[in-house]
Chains A and B, each alone.
Chain A
Amino acid sequence: MPTFISGTRTAALIALLLATFALVGCDQSDREWHGKDISGLMPPLEFELINTQGEAVNASDSDGQVRLVFFGFTHCPDICPTTLARLSQAVGKLPENERERVTIMFVSVDPNRDTPEQIAAYTRFYGDRIAGMTGSEPQLRQLVKRYRTTFGYDEPDENNNYNVSHSAGVYVFDTRGKARLLLRPDLTAAQIRDDISALAQERRS
């Protein structure tokens, strides 16, 4: 009967669709993360930037580290200071052997104002596990596009002060560079510590 066939076919289609969505992100452990699990949603870590000494730096330079990537700018009035303080607090509470395997990467998306020296002074304030970096605008655009984020500038006022819109989340990559978690701004330092501790304990393969 056509109606029966149609019904079965529709049910099969719906089941297939549901199964497809259920499978997205199922290739990782079944641990309950505080952050948003982005395994399978995003590509592995890759970038070409400059560090606070003005030297070229790429993702493979920090292989073997759990990397917490945060986009911001040093003139940021609220999100950047609070996020960096929280990340730094979370990393600081890790046992020594785990702490050594974690790097916070602060990527300034305001290269016109943020010189490498300025970024170095800014990140130093938040601890020694923070690597500051920036790049040319095309380099930064390429990187943020890869991670489905962006940044934008407001019109500058008479003192050349302007606001910058940027991501408020922290992208977490495991020791192999695979995208694993996206930390929303509402997570506490303890929750962040739990997540990165679990990632730092994972065995390298």
Chain B
Amino acid sequence: MNGVKALLPYDFSPLTIASYALVLALYGVALLRMPDSERPGPGRIVTFVVGVMLCYAVMQTAFDYYSQYMFFVHRGQHLILHHLGPFLIALSNPLPVMRFWGRKIPRSALPWLAPVRLSYRVLQHPVVAPVLFVGLVYFWLSPSIHFDAMLSRQLYWVMNWSMLLDGLLFWWLILDPRSPYITNALGYGKRMLLLALVAVPQMLLGAWIVFSRDMVYDVYEVCGRAWPLAPETDQLLGGLLTWIPPAMMSVLGILIILRRAMYEDGRYPKQAAALAQPSGHMNT
């Protein structure tokens, strides 16, 4: 594929393009209009945009073509949609932007948003979130469902969007910039535990794919590959991408949380933290 064609969508999705444009527009407008004291610095802005553009690139460029017809590229696509992209977006701390738009919601509309808030709380429950995070990986990689998802255009889009949205929820729970000492954000210990817990089943699944003697995902055989690559090599590379990088993302996440926990250690006296607790709730 030549240069320009490689940047164009393989499977044009107006909804996807509109969603990304909307996210970038909301972020940009908030940056311009928010008070200087709240505005994120250039590093955070770049991190956010890189995270968003990475996800866009794997969904709406030639990368998507290769993801549909090569198992290992597909695993790379989900690594970005479920891990790296959402990780960077959450790490960039877009909380000021969210608060900016949150303040624009009229009070009369708040009761209508109650179901959204309730669903959000359920999905971000420290037991539900990791089960959903790993469960989706297992769900879409169960061979018969994977076969259908790669055959049906609709299911394929549902798969990719569900991975992206769940990735955003999970990494936002983990990298929530609010300190658990003075807000109701999840405690650092629990965050590190979740990261360790989600790494193990992903590693097991990756190792199972790597060491499988038979072809686990024959849809790429049945539907043809983007270029003549040995099926065993494709499966091996895909298995490695399921096994190692997600585990490394967990390690990276643990290191970041550990650094935060050490930085905040002793920073908030216990009494002050206890006093701040009732009024420290912040809605996201």
Q: B-contacting residues of A (Cβ < 8 Å)?
A: 5-6, 9-10, 21, 24-25, 36, 38, 40-42, 71, 144-145, 148-154, 163-169, 182, 184-185
Main secondary structure of the interface of B (DSSP, over half): helix
- Asked if B147 is at the interface (CB within 8 A of a chain A CB), the reply is yes
Question: Does B221 lie at the interface of the complex (its beta carbon under 8 Å from any beta carbon of A)?
Answer: yes
Considering the chains assembled together, what is the distance between the CA atoms of A5 and B10 in angstroms?
A: 43
Task: Given A38-B151, A41-B155, A148-B153, answer yes or no on A165-B227 (Cβ-Cβ < 8 Å).
Answer: yes
Q: Contact check, B69 vs A150: say whether CB atoms are below 8 A apart.
A: yes
Check A165/B225 contact, CB under 8 A, given A6-B125, A41-B148, A150-B69: yes
**Within the assembled complex, what's the spacing in Å between the Cα atoms of A144 and B224?**
10
Residues of A within 8 A of B119 (CB): 9
Given A36-B147, A148-B156: 6 more A-B contacts, CB < 8 Å: A148-B151, A149-B224, A165-B228, A168-B224, A169-B222, A169-B223
A166 to B128, CA, bound (A): 41
**Chain B residues with Cβ under 8 A from A169's Cβ?**
222-223
C-alpha spacing A42/B155, complex, angstroms: 11
Query: Does any Cβ of A come within 8 Å of B226's Cβ?
Result: yes
A148 near B122: Cβ-Cβ < 8 Å: no
Across the interface, A148 reaches (CB within 8 A) one of B121, B150, B225, namely: B150
CB proximity of B149 to chain A, nearest CB, Å: 10
User: Which chain A residues border B224 with CB–CB below 8 Å?
Assistant: 71, 144, 149-152, 165-168
B-to-A contact residues, CB < 8 Å = 10-11, 65, 68-69, 118-119, 121-122, 125, 128, 145, 147-148, 150-153, 155-156, 218, 221-229
Nearest Cβ distance between residue B81 and chain A, in whole angstroms? Answer: 19
Contact across chains for A154 and B228 when beta carbons are under 8 A apart? yes
Question: What is the CB-to-nearest-CB distance from B161 to chain A, in angstroms, rounded to a whole number?
Answer: 14
Q: Which 3 A-B pairs have the closest CB atoms?
A: A169-B222, A152-B227, A167-B224
Assess whether A42 is in contact with B226, with CB atoms less than 8 Å apart.
no
Are the CB atoms of A152 and B150 closer together than 8 Å?
A: no
Q: Which of B10, B121, B227 gathers most chain A CB within 10 Å?
A: B227
B118 and A185 form a contact (CB under 8 A): no
A sample of 22 inter-chain contacts (CB < 8 A) reads: A5-B118, A9-B118, A9-B122, A10-B122, A24-B152, A36-B147, A38-B151, A40-B152, A71-B224, A144-B224, A145-B11, A148-B68, A150-B223, A150-B225, A150-B226, A152-B224, A152-B225, A154-B227, A164-B228, A165-B225, A165-B229, A182-B151
